[in-house]
Amino acid sequence: MEQALYAALSAFTDPYLLSLIFVTTIGGVIIGALPGLGATTGAALLLPFTLTMEPVAAITVLTTIYVSATFAGAITAILINTPGTPAAAATCFDGFPLAQKGEAGRALGIAVVSSTVGGIFSVLVLMIAAPVMARVAYEFRPPENFALTVFGLSMLATISSGGAVRNLIGGVFGVWLATIGSDQITSVERFMFDNYDLYEGLNFIPVMIGMFALSELLVQSSKVNMIVEQISMKAVRLPTKDDYRKIWKTIVRSCGIGTFIGVLPAEGATVASMIGYSEAKRWSKTPEEFGKGAVEGIAGAEAANNAATGGAMVPTLVLGIPGSATTAVILVGLLVHGLRPGPHLFTQQVDIVYGIFGAMLAANVMFFFLGLFGAKLFARVTLIPTSIMLEVWIALIFGVVGFLFRRFGFSVAPVAIGLILGKMVETNLQNSLKIFDGKWWLIFTQPLAAFFLALAVIGLFWPVIGGRLAAWRSKSDPVGLNE
């Protein structure tokens, strides 16, 4: 154990590793803040440059990109209502409204602290309990992953202020968008209209830019008689004592949620942030503030999505099963350097494994300080013309779609989340049907799958259940004597 701790702490004392972490963290924050790029793209671009490095240094670069880019998606989510990464989509819900109130620095401060706590928590859990958590993740087969994703979709009923019915309609529309292209199992072409540019489906990036950023531009341009105040930020501010009192329980809860979801193969930070946000709203004493700049919403999403980074490394290192798209790239890096994932890593190559853990801890500490003092500078990357990065026509089309959704009282967030989760639902359902020879009802015979599907039903009908409970409480305590 002493050898393992020494290997982990070496990342904080090795000048070469520290310089790598510093430079890569800056690059990761820039990549994460640019809408359209992200941790997976950054890791894939840097992978060829790590081939000549030592194993610990190479994996350090890839994991640093992973954790720093995941955090940085919150910068554009808060400042321009466009998540830099899919995992920051839930941060838009309250981050941007809070920034519109002139508190962009406060919103980013809460995001930085929540992200750092979530990231450090998940790495500590990874260091202590990786083998145990890996055995839990091994129990999740396609039926369980399908049920978990359905549970995530059920959260759309309460995830924004558009109303349960409108939110679910938007989510169904997003799931339909996810079916565009060829079926992964049968290669049947769906909704392509002979346009083979859509063979692999819609690119998530331009859809998100259109639904969030361009629709916001159209909404603002329609307010011709109003003076629109631009968002300004003097500096990132650490949360106040009052903020900490509001968010500490949310951060603790989201740390657990994010780490657990991260361990599950192929779920990742996007699902974690959505569930973390939804649970923050569910347990909040002031759920009516969500969507209007609630600090708990920012903390819930950011702590969860960064906690998922450490969790996703568990199945990657112990089972060789990537916990997310980015860890799939990291897995390639491990194999290229002759590191075969499996339980033997923790007995035969302790120095390398715990060196990776130490590097992830150092990266979380590093982006805390860079986030506090450099967010205003990094935010200037949003001035880069998006036309040089995007599929402009798709972005424009979905900008109009998003504008129409907002015009008629629908939230665009459920559409985006439906698009993200739709492919997961379809793939896991198809794989489950293969396992059970087409007998779909056998999914309900799997205890974990049945558990998550039951939670999905509760989540779907929670607005009705919550309304009935509130009505019952008001009848039993008409003058508020129990408050």
Q: What's the DSSP call for residue 209? A: I
pLDDT higher than 70, residue 181: yes
Q: What is the pLDDT of residue 192?
A: 76
pLDDT higher than 80, residue 123: yes
Q: Which two tokens stand for residue 45?
A: 């671009």
Q: Which two tokens stand for residue 186?
A: 């049968």
- Residues 116 and 364: beta-carbon distance below 8 Å: yes
Vertex 224: Cα angle to 218 and 225 (nearest 5)? 145
Measured CA distances, 35 to 76, 82, 149, 368 (Å) = 7, 7, 25, 21
> How crowded is residue 332: how many other Cβ atoms within 10 Å of its Cβ?
15
Measured CA distances, 44 to 21, 38, 170, 372 (Å) = 17, 10, 32, 27
Q: What's the DSSP call for residue 35? A: B
> How crowded is residue 373: how many other Cβ atoms within 10 Å of its Cβ?
11
Q: What is the CA radius of gyration of the chain?
A: 22
pLDDT higher than 60, residue 139: yes
Q: What is the pLDDT of residue 226?
A: 44
The mean pLDDT of 111-140, rounded to a whole number, is: 76
Question: Which residue would you say has higher pLDDT here, 222 or 100?
Answer: 100
- Residues 381 and 32: beta-carbon distance below 8 Å: no
Q: What is the pLDDT of residue 389?
A: 42
Q: How far apart are the first and last CA of the chain?
A: 51
pLDDT higher than 70, residue 87: yes
Q: What is the pLDDT of residue 80?
A: 75
- Residues 65 and 46: beta-carbon distance below 8 Å: yes
- Which among 448, 436, 421 has a CA at the least distance from the CA of 137? 448
Judged by average pLDDT, the poorest of 184-198, 206-220, 246-260, 426-440 is 206-220
The mean pLDDT of 94-114, rounded to a whole number, is: 84
Res. 214 pLDDT band, cuts 50 70 90: low
Q: What's the DSSP call for residue 409? A: T
Cα–Cα distance between 223 and 242 in angstroms, integer?
35
Beta pairing class for 189-190 and 181-182: antiparallel
SS3 427: helix
- Which among 39, 300, 181 has a CA at the least distance from the CA of 290? 300
Q: What is the pLDDT of residue 322?
A: 66
SS3 37: strand
pLDDT higher than 50, residue 350: yes
Torsion sign, CA atoms 148, 261, 289, 284: positive
- Residues 152 and 274: beta-carbon distance below 8 Å: yes
The per-residue pLDDT for range 405-431, each reduced to its tens digit, is 777 777 666 776 677 677 778 888 888
> How crowded is residue 299: how many other Cβ atoms within 10 Å of its Cβ?
33
Question: In a 10 Å sphere around its CB, with 0-12 CB exposed, 13-18 middle and 19+ buried, how is residue 430 labelled?
Answer: middle
> How crowded is residue 161: how many other Cβ atoms within 10 Å of its Cβ?
16
Greatest mean pLDDT among 63-72, 125-134, 227-236 lies in: 63-72
Q: What is the pLDDT of residue 236?
A: 60
